Structure 1
Amino acid sequence: MNLPKENLLFWSVVDNKQGQIRWLPANAQSYKDNTTITTSARYAGDYRWNAISVDYYERNAIMSDSLTNSIYNAREWFQSEGDAVQTVFGTSGYLVNAIAVDWFSRSLYWIDEGFNWIRMSSYDSVKTTLIIGTGLDKPQGIAVYPVNGYIFWTDSGRRTIERSSLSGKNRTILFENLREPTDIIVDATVNDGRLYWIDRTTVYGENHTLESSDCGGQGRRIEYNLLYQEGTLLDIAVDENFIFVAIQSLQGSFIRYLNKGNNTVFYDLSLQEEVLDICVSGNDIQPYTGSGK
């Protein structure tokens, strides 16, 4: 079956106490002026899909359910029928906050805040490998960049962002003394990648920040601010043209599309449901070139 030719934006929601994965084209040009927007939706049921990651080439959507503490693989996610999911790992722990795919080796990485570890498995295997098992205190987000052979993660307890090899070796602290780092991603559409992360505040009058740097921790800059009293930055995703930011405000949930380069607002996708996670999938978002250390 042919793969979708355009980038797709995915998000997981809770709608009437039912978990669901939804998606639509990542480029809002075709629908930004529409009064009604039609989205694709799958995998509804008694789930709480608190994390999702998609392998574009393998046609896999990997999702974690916080109600059963399990990770599932939804094959052929873009087919029009069927909601079948295959268990990758059951009773994974206290809380899987984030998952990320290594599209080179067809592997899955995830963090568990309860056990304070990072684990890895293949898409179909119940056998897992412990990658990081010490020196973690409430890990929150994880990103995989197989092009250069790195994983990155945020730790809200230690208030750090770290990097290691795909096997967990050569750990390096890139940033410390943050406030509450949560979600983290790598923009693989640019040479040598670029990190994006959320750093939250709990202080009235301060800003939640969306920041970025290169994969070595250099060139750090603030991409977007949101006042604490105006809402919360939930999750982020990125493609060639946009930075996508899921926001919970006093008025409700929405996904903000920021133009890369000048960070101006291109579009706000208003949602009626609680947003748990977002991600983007596409050919150039997961390139098959690089050193893969």
Structure 2
Amino acid sequence: MANQTDPTPDAVRGQIEALREAYSWLALLVEPGRERRPGRPVDDAQAERLEAQGRADRAYRQWNISRGLSALPPSPAAASVTVVDAQASVRRRVLDIAHRVAAWQHASWVGGPDVDQVLSWLDEAGPGRPAVVDELRDRRRLSWLVDELATAVASARQAAGVVAEPVRPVAWRCPACGSPSLQLAHPGADKSLWTISCVRRACRCAGAGCGCLRRDRRQGLAHVWTRAELPTLAQAVAIADRVARQGRPVTGSAAAGHGGWSDRRTVR
């Protein structure tokens, strides 16, 4: 993976943060009793797949019980070989990074293949010393480090099924449709260009009475809030939460067959 820009310690830190997040997704996928995917918005197609998988799991569990066999545990299926292999691959690559960078400093890495430990050693200052990445001055070494970390990030994301786009889930539910499908798009450093949108295809503005509370409420528009509209979105979410607690329907999307969504959880 070729690095096309001048490498800097900040570029290394960016990849370190990306790897921390991506590797934590892999940990979630192999931890018993946890949901099988990292938290992210759930669109209509994903919701349908989740429902189908849930029906299949319940049917198999009932089939086992009817034949005197043990029921499936109330936890996800065993982690896929792909995820386990990706974890091992990331650990090997990160351990190689630790040995290589330590050698650059005429030292030896005495820690183990703990990914968090290596990443913390790279980007956190210690007693009487700066962070390791801040001591690197050679452009070729910085470039190699950025590329190795980026390769590890790509491997972890692919195994976890996470799209490597500048997006992330938002903890709020959409105030118009009530689903956990809000997504933050942060394509660059200019935060004025960041937006939050509902990724459900069926979620469209109902017009003047829509719960989105956007300034431009026109029937049929997708729900997208700009950074300047974040206070409006927060207000809309608070109103929707209050109405939901009172047990009344939320005024939202006018799309046929849409309405509110039950308490399905995001895929983790």
TM-score by length of 1: 0.24
Name whichever structure is richer in helix by fraction.
Answer: 2
Q: Which gives a bigger RCO, structure 1 or 2 (Cα 8 Å, sep 6+)?
A: 2
Larger Rg computed on CA atoms: 2
Name whichever structure is richer in strand by fraction.
Answer: 1
TM-score by length of 2: 0.26
